[in-house]
Amino acid sequence: MQSFKLLKIMGIPIELHITFLLLLLAVYYFWGIGGFILYLFLFSSVVLHELGHSFVAKKYGVHIEKILLLPIGGMAIMDKIPEKGEFKIAIAGPIVSMILGVLFLTLSSFYDINLLKIDSMEYLLFSTVGILNIFLGLFNLLPAFPMDGGRILRALISGKIGYLKATKIASSIGQLFSMLMFGYGIISFNIILLLIAVFIYFGAHQEYATLLTYRIFDRIKIDEIMSDQIIAVPPETTTKELVDLMFKYKYMGYPVVDTNGELIGSVSFDDIVAVSDDILVSDIMKPPIVVSKYGDFNELLHKMNNSERIYVKDDTGKLVGIISKTDIIRILKIMGLKLNDID
């Protein structure tokens, strides 16, 4: 995904996706400077909408990576939203849009600029921006994922029926809505409507699917999937001795443990292929990546991105198990079969 950093507001980088810039050029080409200015106002409105979400999210301690602007709208990319703050975080965006809408419409009743004329239709700057902000606010209040209203709905009903079921409902409404929109887009030959419908359909689906996987992974206990057959090596092992161990045990990686039994490193086949026989393991070992025996599987998956092998420690800091990427792949395959059983 190609994007360009534009500026930072409240410590949050605002980035433009390359397709957004292309659209900007297209707008200028077709509608001239008037269209260009209108587009800039709209894009600023979208940024303010997203900043509204981000401002409240920050109060709940959510880390916001960036605000990304796509031709189809803006997206604040943030960590998982806590269930507790969801209602306020979700409603903040539409509130900002509605306020902007009212402000621009009020302004327009005193003064406005005749900006653009398309097919004898005149577009006044402030009134157009005002109306579009109201529309943006209302559209986002639709009680369906991936719109803000989907989150609002989930926050309102999850107390009664549970978070997962509430997500499923908001996500199904989103899909139903996108299909109606798609149908209407076909009848009216509106390509933009078709694109938005597809975007909503997949967004709605993804929201539920992500949560479902998250919930399933939550049930996996680390000590149930780890291997407790630990063959550790001391730091003064030579690479030649390590190769002999690999022949004997068929493991590709080994924990390095000092005389106190403390885990101090990790060494694998990849580390030794390019070095001579007499090099010591302590010179080539890497820092071990460690999880707690009681940690959660989602954290483990995250750490697995940077390592082939994860070491498991118990409360006392003792090494009690090893999990390799192959173990994870095996587990995910088995979980894939079980996916259908969970609702």
Among 15, 86, 148, 207, interactor with Zn ion by CB under 5 A: 148
Binding status of residue 15 toward Zn ion by CB under 5 A: no
- Phi-psi sector, 318: left (phi>0), alpha (psi -120 to 50), beta: beta
Binding status of residue 174 toward Zn ion by CB under 5 A: no
**What is the dihedral sign for C-alpha 82, 85, 90, 93?**
negative
Which residue(s) pair with 123 in the sheet?
A: 116
Q: Give me the half-sphere count of Cα atoms (radius 13 Å) on the Cβ side of residue 18.
A: 3
Number of residues forming the site for Zn ion (CB under 5 A)? 3
Comparison of 148 and 271: residue with beta carbon closer to Zn ion: 148
Q: Is 65 helix (H, G, I), strand (E, B) or coil?
A: strand
Q: Say how far apart CA 267 and CA 255 lie, in whole Å.
A: 6
Binding status of residue 101 toward Zn ion by CB under 5 A: no
DSSP 6: E
Comparison of 140 and 307: residue with beta carbon closer to Zn ion: 140
- Phi-psi sector, 17: left (phi>0), alpha (psi -120 to 50), beta: beta
Q: Is 53 annotated as a binding residue?
A: yes
Known catalytic residues are: 50
Binding status of residue 143 toward Zn ion by CB under 5 A: no
Comparison of 34 and 146: residue with beta carbon closer to Zn ion: 146
Which of these ranges, 29-37, 102-110, 132-140, 270-278, lies near Zn ion under the rule CB under 5 A? 132-140
- Sketch the per residue contact string, 64 through 93, with Zn ion: x for CB under 5 A, - otherwise: -----------------------------x
Comparison of 39 and 139: residue with beta carbon closer to Zn ion: 139
> Phi/psi of residue 267, each to 5°?
-130, 140
Binding site for Zn ion (CB under 5 A): 93, 140, 148
Which residues belong to the annotated binding site?
A: 49, 53, 148
